[in-house]
Chains A and B, each alone.
Chain A
Amino acid sequence: MGIVELQNVRKVYPLGKVQVEAVKGVSFSIEKGDFISIAGPSGSGKTTILNMIGLVDQPTEGEVLLDGKPTSKLKDSELTRLRHETLGFIFQSFNLIPVLNVWENVEFPLLLGKTRVGKGEKNEWIDHLIEEVGLSEWRKHKSNELSGGQRQRVAIARALVTRPQIVLADEPTANLDSATGEQILELMKKINRELETTFIFSTHDARIVDIADHIIRLRDGLVIENRRRDEPAGTIRTMVGASAGAGA
Chain B
Amino acid sequence: MPVTMRMAFRNLIEHRAKSLIVGTLLALGMLIMVLGNAFLDASKRGIQTSFTQNYTGDIIITGVADGPVSLFGVQSVGGMEQTPTLPDYEKLFAHASTLPGVTAAAGMASGFGIATNESTDMSTNHEDQDSQESMMDAVMMLFGVDAANYWKLFKTIEIVDGHFLEPGESGVMIAADRLEKLAKHLKRNLKVGDEVLIQGINGSGIRLRSAKIVGTFKRVSEGAGPEQLTYIDIDTLRVLAGMTVGASENIKLDSTETSMLGTGNVDDLFNTDSFGTIDTPAKASAGKPLTEAGISSLLGDTSARERLNTADTGAWHSVLLRLEDPATAPVLIKGLNAWFAQEGITAVAGDWQKAAGPYAQSVDVLRIVFTVAIIILAIVAIIIIMNTLVVSIIERTGEIGTMRALGAGRIFVRELFAAETITLSVVFGIVGMGLAFVGSAIINGIGFKASNQFLEILFGGKILHTIINPMALVGSMVVIVLVGILASLYPVSVALRIQPVRAMQS
B and A form one assembly? yes
Q: Which of B3, B11, B398, B410 contacts A111 (CB 8 A)?
A: B3
Chain A residues numbered 66-108 whose CB sits less than 8 Å from any CB in chain B? 76-77, 80-81, 83-85, 89, 91-93, 95, 97-100, 104, 108
- Residue A51 CB within 8 A of the other chain: yes
| Residues 117-165 (chain B) with a chain A CB within 8 angstroms | none
Say how far B105's CB is from chain A's closest CB, in angstroms: 70
Residues of B within 8 A of A145 (CB): none
Question: Roughly how many angstroms separate A85 CA and B409 CA in the complex, as a whole number?
Answer: 13
Is the pair A91, B407 in contact by a Cβ cutoff of 8 Å?
no
Instruction: Give the distance to chain A from B390, nearest Cβ to Cβ, in Å.
Output: 19
Chain B residues near A40 (CB, 8 Å)?
none
Identify the interface centre among B408, B410, B412: most chain A CB within 10 Å of its CB: B408
A83 to B412, CA, bound (A): 15
Instruction: Check if B406 sits within 8 Å of A54, measured CB to CB.
Output: no
B402–A112 CB distance below 8 A? no
Determine if B398 and A95 form an interchain contact, defined as CB atoms under 8 angstroms apart: yes
Whole-angstrom CA separation of A214 from B446 in the bound complex: 82
Contact B408 A80 (CB under 8 A): yes
B402 near A95 (CB under 8 angstroms)? yes
A-contact 0/1 string along B378-404, CB 8 Å cutoff: 000000000000000000001100111
Contacts of A109 in B (CB 8 A): 406-407
Q: Which residues of B contact A210 (CB under 8 A)?
A: none
Minimal Cβ-Cβ distance residue in B for A159: B406
How far does the Cβ of A91 sit from chain B's closest Cβ, in whole Å?
Answer: 6
Q: Shortest Cβ distance from B394 into chain A, in angstroms?
A: 16
Does B405 sit at the interface, judged by CB under 8 A? yes
Q: What are the residues of chain A within 8 A of B7 when measuring CB–CB?
A: 97, 99-100
Minimum C-beta distance from A90 to chain B (A): 11
**Closest approach, in angstroms, between the C-beta of B44 and any C-beta of chain A?**
47
CB distance from B83 to the nearest CB of A (A): 70
Say whether A56 contacts B500, CB under 8 Å. Answer: yes
A158 to B402, CA, bound (A): 12
- Minimum Cβ distance to chain B for residue A9 (Å): 15
Which B residue's beta carbon lies closest to that of A47?
B504
Cβ–Cβ contact A97 & B403, under 8 A: yes
Closest to A83 in B: B407
Please tell me if the beta carbons of A84 and B407 are within 8 angstroms of each other in the complex. yes
Q: Which residues of B contact A2 (CB under 8 A)?
A: none
Interface residues of chain B: helix, strand, loop or mixed (majority) = helix
User: What residues of A have a CB within 8 angstroms of the CB of B403 in the complex?
Assistant: 97, 108, 112
Q: Which among A54, A81, A95 has the highest number of chain B CB atoms within 10 Å? A: A95
**Is there an interface contact between A108 and B500, defined as CB atoms closer than 8 Å?**
no
Contact A97 B399, beta carbon cutoff 8 Å: yes
Tell whether A41 is near chain B: CB-to-CB under 8 Å.
no
Return the CB mask of B492-506 against A: 1 if under 8 Å, else 0: 000000011101101
CB contacts (< 8 Å) of A111 on chain B: these are 3
B307 within 8 A of A: no
Interface residues in B351-382 by Cβ distance below 8 A to A read none
Contact with A along B6-33 (1 / 0, CB 8 A): 1100110010000000000000000000
Question: Which A residues from 9 to 60 make CB contacts under 8 A with B?
Answer: 47, 50-51, 54-57
Given A51-B501, A56-B504, A91-B503, A83-B406 contact (CB < 8 Å): yes
Known: A84-B406, A108-B406. A98 touches B503 (CB 8 A): no
Known: A84-B407, A112-B403. 5 other contacts (CB 8 A): A56-B405, A80-B407, A99-B11, A108-B403, A108-B406
- 26 pairs from A and B in contact (CB 8 Å cutoff): A50-B504, A51-B501, A54-B500, A55-B500, A56-B499, A56-B500, A57-B501, A76-B410, A80-B407, A83-B407, A84-B406, A85-B407, A89-B405, A89-B406, A91-B504, A95-B398, A97-B403, A99-B10, A99-B14, A108-B3, A108-B406, A109-B406, A111-B3, A112-B407, A112-B408, A170-B504
